[in-house]
Amino acid sequence: MAAIGAARQRRRAPVPDLAGRACLITGAASGIGRATALAAARRATELLLTDLQAEPLQETAELARLAGARDVRCWAADVSDHDAVLAMARDVHGARPCVDVVMNIAGISIWGPVEQLEHEHWRRQVEVNLMGPISVIEAFIPPMIRAGRRGQLVNVSSSAGLFGLPWHAAYSASKFGLRGVSEVLRFDLRRHGIGVTLVCPGAVDTPLVDTVGIVGVDRTAPDVRELVARFRRHAVSPEHVAEAIIAAVEHNRFLVLTSPDIQLGYWFQRKFALPYELAMRLLNDRLVAVALASREGSAPPAAAPIPGGAGGAAAPAARGEAHDA
Ligand SMILES: NC(=O)c1ccc[n+]([C@@H]2O[C@H](COP(=O)([O-])OP(=O)(O)OC[C@H]3O[C@@H](n4cnc5c(N)ncnc54)[C@H](O)[C@@H]3O)[C@@H](O)[C@H]2O)c1
């Protein structure tokens, strides 16, 4: 019965099969974005890929061609640069009325206690993780509506778009925002035959795990290293997330929670408000204890670098400072 239901849902999906469809993916140079590009390539999708990092983006393009993509085009661009996104959209729409699938995957992540986060940390995350997808939506969804073709919009948020995780205020500002945009567009775009998918991953084993910016924490301290190792141990692979994203597109699923712990946590949050609050308090105390222990005996940690921001160098992402959680 479940199989019949899934088959029906797939038939009704705006993009039941990615083969031959044009799919725009941001953040395609690394992690979840690259894995999703390759998963789509294996389904003979036509790929329009973009990322801040030009060279790794070209590598993804090469891999995608080898994996079977029907065609691949790349744009090295900063998703937070509205004019750059509009220029890319003009280029894309010069050759076609619209794309079939838009995937907002690019993102950065910096955590820290509110008294240590700098204004630039907040601003940059909102610019990249929220205003970036908004620019992409502005540039690519109206042409999809005008063309009268069915399509799918995918926004990658985070478990930090569902829960009040310790020290995630600036990151959550962007990821809750993207969740809000998705929740509204899910209903607004329905009448145009455009589906919306909101992806909230938990831990994913991407390059970010080693580079996530935690303001005021010595990442070399044993307790912090143990915390990072634990994060990696229960992280799912980017390929797992990619397959979940593709399946969600082909079945027009709205909410995708890619890890069992996040599925359980989300259920728990909605069913048990008080135990959820107590669990979050404990988690918060634990993280602060680890952070304080990391500072003992070590020099005051430097401020977290801001990927692509004022404190960063010219090509921060190339140094592996653009990262996500
Ligand atoms: N890895 C995790 O544990 C995790 C968990 C939850 C959510 N996420 C989200 O998943 C998405 C992908 O993250 P990932 O883990 O694959 O990280 P990643 O660092 O491997 O990939 C992110 C990509 O985004 C690109 N990028 C960063 N800033 C950009 C900008 N201004 N313009 C264009 N491209 C830019 C980077 O160059 C990089 O290629 C992010 O939105 C992140 O917030 C990741």
Confidence band, pLDDT 50/70/90 cuts, at residue 306: low
Ligand 1 pocket residue status of 158, Cβ below 6 Å? yes
Question: Which atom, in ligand 1's list, is nearest to the CA of 323?
Answer: 19
> Which contacts (CB < 8 Å, 24+ apart) does range 263-271 have?
265/159, 265/162, 265/163, 266/162, 266/200, 269/162, 269/163
User: What confidence score (pLDDT) does residue 308 get?
Assistant: 55
Atom nearest to 104 CA in ligand 1? 41
As a whole number of Å, the CA-based R_g of the chain is: 20
pLDDT level of residue 141 (50, 70, 90 thresholds): very high
For residues 106 and 117, is the Cβ–Cβ distance under 8 A?
A: no
More confident residue, 324 or 146: 146
Average pLDDT over residues 138-152: 97
Q: Does residue 24 line the site of ligand 1, with CB under 6 A?
A: no
Q: Is 276 a catalytic residue?
A: no
Residue 29 near residue 106, CB atoms below 8 Å: no
User: What is the pLDDT averaged over residues 254-271?
Assistant: 95
Query: According to the 3-state scheme, what is the secondary structure of the chain?
Result: CHHHHHHHHHHHCCCCCCCCCEEEEECCCCHHHHHHHHHHHCCCCEEEEEECCHHHHHHHHHHHHHHCCCEEEEEECCCCCHHHHHHHHHHHHHHCCCCCEEEECCCCCEECCCCCCCHHHHHHHHHHHHHHHHHHHHHHHHHHHHHCCCEEEEEECCHHHCCCCCCCHHHHHHHHHHHHHHHHHHHHCHHHCEEEEEEECCCECCCHHHHCEECCCCCCCHHHHHHHHHHHHCCECHHHHHHHHHHHHHHCCCEEECCHHHHHHHHHHHHCHHHHHHHHHHHHHHHHHHHHHHHCCCCCCCCCCCCCCCCCCCCCHHHCCCCCC
Q: In this predicted model, what pLDDT tens digit does every residue of 18-74 receive, in sequence order?
A: 999 999 999 999 999 999 999 999 999 999 999 999 999 999 999 999 999 999 999
Residue 7 pLDDT > 70: no
Burial class (CB in 10 A: 0-12, 13-18, 19+), 80: buried
For residue 269, name the pLDDT band (cuts at 50, 70, 90): very high
Q: How far is the CA of 275 from the centre of ligand 1 (A)?
A: 31
Q: Exposure string (b/e) for 171-185, b if CB count within 10 Å is 16 or more?
A: bbbbbbbbbebbeeb
Distance of CA 315 from the midpoint of ligand 1 (Å): 16
To the question of pTM greater than 0.85 for the whole model, the response is: yes
Instruction: Choose the catalytic residue: 75, 167, 171, 266.
Output: 171
- Which pLDDT score is estimated for 299? 55
- Which of 119, 121, 94, 98 has its CA nearest to residue 108? 121
| 325 pLDDT more than 70 | no
| pLDDT recorded at residue 175 | 98
Pairwise CA distance, residues 176 & 157, whole Å: 7
Res. 210 pLDDT band, cuts 50 70 90: confident
C-beta of residue 13 within 8 angstroms of C-beta of residue 195:
yes
Query: 61 CB under 6 A from ligand 1?
Result: no
Question: Higher confidence at residue 213 or residue 162?
Answer: 162
Q: What angle do CA 184, 172, 104 make, to 5 degrees?
A: 55
Residue 216's nearest CA partner among 160, 294, 281 is 294
* More confident site: 276 or 56: 56
* Mean pLDDT of the chain, nearest integer: 89
Domains of the chain: residue spans and CATH: 2-295 (3.40.50.720)
Percent above pLDDT 90 for the chain: 73
Tens digit of each residue's pLDDT (9 = 90 or more) over 177-204: 999 999 999 999 999 999 999 999 999 9
- State percent of the chain over pLDDT 70: 87
Nearest CA among 287, 285, 265 for reference residue 276: 265
Q: 32 or 276: whose pLDDT is higher?
A: 32
Q: Which of 57-71, 166-180, 251-265, 280-294 has the lowest mean pLDDT?
A: 280-294
Residue type, 210: D
pLDDT at site 62: 98
- Both tokens of 83, joined, read 């004019």
Whether 308 is in the pocket of ligand 1, judged by its Cβ within 6 Å, is yes
CA distances from 133 to 31, 64, 79, 136, 319 (A): 18, 23, 7, 5, 23
Does the Cβ of 207 fall within 6 Å of ligand 1? yes
Residue 164 has pLDDT above 90, yes or no: yes
Q: Who has greater pLDDT, 301 or 85?
A: 85
Is it the case that residue 231 has pLDDT exceeding 90?
A: no
